């Protein structure tokens, strides 16, 4: 789920909202196993992501890259659209 290249962190996620201008809400989901009971649990987290040209739409799978703070909530930018 997580790759490191130089200083930037990359994540794969799904666009869940495209209502804001130049901003997308991307949801990252992952599974983890409980240490004692070995039950798989699903976790998710949402990030506000910068999309300069408004190219991604709701339902697209995107690759996002960590960057400097762009606003109060945005610390990620869309690097590429995997499935659209």
pLDDT, tens digit only, all 84 positions of the chain: 666 556 789 999 999 999 999 999 999 999 999 999 999 999 999 999 999 999 999 999 999 999 999 999 999 999 999 987
**Residue 68 DSSP symbol:** S
pTM here?
Answer: 0.86
Q: How many Cβ atoms from other residues are within 10 Å of residue 38's Cβ?
A: 7
Q: Which of 67, 60, 2, 51 is nearest to 27 (CA)?
A: 60
Q: Which domain holds residue 40?
A: 3-83
Q: What is the 3-state secondary structure (H, E, C) of the chain?
A: CCEEECCEEEEEEEEEECCCCCEEEEEEEEEEECCCCCCEEEEEEEEEEECCCCCCCCCCEEEEEECCCCCCCCCEEEEEEEEC
Considering its fold, how many domains does the chain have in total?
Answer: 1
pLDDT of residue 4: 59
Domain of residue 56, CATH code:
2.40.50.140
Q: Measure CA 20 to chain center.
A: 16
């Amino acid at each position: 789920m997580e790759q490191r290249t130089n200083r930037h962190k990359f994540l794969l996620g799904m666009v869940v909202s495209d209502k804001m201008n130049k901003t997308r809400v991307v949801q990252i989901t992952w599974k983890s196993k409980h240490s004692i009971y070995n039950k798989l649990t699903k976790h998710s987290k949402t990030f506000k992501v910068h999309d300069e040209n408004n190219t991604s739409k709701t339902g697209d799978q995107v690759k996002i890259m960590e960057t400097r703070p762009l606003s109060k909530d945005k610390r990620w930018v869309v690097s590429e659209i995997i499935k659209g």
